[in-house]
Amino acid sequence: MGTADQVQLIAYADRLGGDLRGLARFLRRGEVAESFGGVHVLPFYTPFDGADAGFDPVDHTAVDPRLGTWDDVRDLSRTHDVMVDLIVNHVSADSAAFRDVVAHGDASPWAPMFLTMSSVFPDGAREEELARIYRPRPGLPFTALRLGDALRYVWTTFTPQQIDIDLSSELGQDYLTSILDTVAAAGVRQVRLDAVGYAVKTPGSTCFMTPETFAFIADFAARARERGVDVLVEVHSYYRRQIEIAREVDLVYDFALPPLVLHALYTGDGAALLDWLRERPRNAVTVLDTHDGIGVIDVGPDQTVEPGEPERPGLLDPAQIDALVEGIHERTGGASAAATGAAASNLDLYQVNSTFYDALGRDDARYLAARALQLFTPGIPQVYYVGLLAGENDVELLQRTGVGRDINRHHYTAEEIDAALETPVVRRMLALCRFRNTFPAFDGDVDATLDGTVLSMERRGVEVPDAVAVLEVDLASGAGTLTWSSGARGEASADLAAFAPDDLGGPVGH
């Protein structure tokens, strides 16, 4: 198996290793080294600690010098496939280009690069047109700002500090090309298009995942491939839309997996998860946790149904979704409720903020079962750094910043990292990742079945047809068993709760 198929780590450069060199040291240390073939480094651009934790870049082509240089990214790419974020929808309000627009208005040479309400609706917009615009947070996506001598409605999908780009303009296209050239030159082989679903604004539409958006993604992906770079599309949306998107792009996120795994392990009912395992796209990046919250919209009904159209149900019904959300709040002792929705800033309509470990009540057996289910699901598995270390909710950071997502964005000290790597649950998880990377059964599809509360997943090798790995999880108890065989080497098995590495040939139970 090549490194492109292996487990990837998702991490901030500063919150796990201090900077890019520290992150490389972490990935190369003995107990971690074979667990990850790749790493998604969250934004390290200038500034990495802005209004939205790096997703509001002032200069998207510059590494923040507090974190390192492009040479450090290039060094990391020597040993790991590197994925980085391309923030295609917006730039910081503090960027030099937008500051010039603030100072000079339409007289600024940079004015065509940024979207205002009038640049999308030159003849004005009817109430009905504005109401159709889909936004991940309450209210309309505009901020009143003075540009030169005129007061204008500037398009700000996310926050007033993040100014949306006109991707149809020559300046907007040149800007994106400059970023793509910069990351490709640094050895980056995958890019994640952040919030691309909102990037193209088409009057009279929802301005979310429209045909024009698909056309932009296809064009950008073609340009990326010319530079040897694959594209991962980040969109939280109705599950059937994800299936449609997957047909058009290199990679999509499987954002439905986390809530379905939680639902199955909360209730012992694996029917919805089994249905999804059989229908989901295979060119997917699988996650249980990321730097954002646990998605709900991804398993719910279609939120973009027009008036008069029939409803399109989700993978879970509304009662199941309500129970799921309340289940997270209950298991976190109310911490997730304090970090979600109107209880904290950075409002999202579709996410619950909590670490995945806390969402499972800090139950090691269920947590390992959840990770095993993720690793047996076809695609490229990504493990978030807090999840890797079985991190608990950082209520102190949440209280200090008032930003809901910060509950799952802990800043780890070297001592905390060392201590976490010694815990049994983290050692077991690293062993599972090493098994997923080295055992040759994971290049084929999955055969998933359900017998009562026991979900079974079988992976069989394509290049090595006699390599078979079978996972059985009792969703009611959280207990799991892993069995594997490879021709002359015979068969072995281990309980997930006692899973440990032996050698590169595979793990053994202790």
Paired with 472 in beta bridges are 456, 481
- Pick from 362, 368, 477, 502: nearest CA to 428: 368
460 annotated binding-site participant: no
- Pick from 472, 464, 448: nearest CA to 505: 464
52 annotated binding-site participant: yes
The pair phi, psi for residue 360, each rounded to 5°, is -100, 20
251 annotated binding-site participant: no
**pLDDT exceeds cutoff 70 at 508:** no
Q: Which two tokens stand for residue 122?
A: 């030159």
Catalytic residue from among 164, 194, 394, 458: 194
Q: Domain ranges in the chain?
A: 446-509
Q: Of residues 94 and 309, which shows the higher confidence score?
A: 94
Q: Of residues 507 and 355, which shows the higher confidence score?
A: 355
Alpha carbon 71 to its chain centroid, in Å, reads 25
- Give every CB contact of residue 367 below 8 A, 6+ residues apart in sequence: 356, 357, 360, 390, 425, 429
pLDDT tens for 330-363 read: 999 999 999 987 654 444 557 899 999 999 999 9
Cis before residue 381, ω within 30 degrees of 0?
Answer: no
Residue 487 banded pLDDT, cuts 50, 70, 90 = confident
320 annotated binding-site participant: no
Q: Which two tokens stand for residue 509?
A: 């139970």
194 annotated binding-site participant: yes
The pair phi, psi for residue 58, each rounded to 5°, is -80, -45
60 annotated binding-site participant: no
Do residues 130 and 155 make contact, with C-beta atoms less than 8 angstroms apart?
A: no
pLDDT tens for 414-465 read: 999 999 999 999 999 999 999 999 999 999 999 999 999 999 999 999 999 9
Residue 52 banded pLDDT, cuts 50, 70, 90 = confident
pLDDT tens for 113-154 read: 999 999 999 999 999 999 999 887 788 999 999 999 999 999
Active site residue 234: yes
149 annotated binding-site participant: no
Residue 506 banded pLDDT, cuts 50, 70, 90 = very low
Amino acid at 188: V
Check the CA dihedral 151-157-159-163 and report its sign. negative
- Cα 97 to Cα 303: distance, rounded to the nearest angstrom: 35
Do residues 397 and 407 make contact, with C-beta atoms less than 8 angstroms apart?
A: yes
Q: For residue 388, what is the DSSP state?
A: H
Catalytic residue from among 72, 94, 164, 234: 234
- Cα 186 to Cα 176: distance, rounded to the nearest angstrom: 16
Please tell me the predicted confidence (pLDDT) of residue 502.
56
- Pick from 102, 100, 205: nearest CA to 152: 102
Amino acid at 229: V
Q: How many residues does the chain have?
A: 510
Active site residue 248: no
pTM as predicted: 0.93
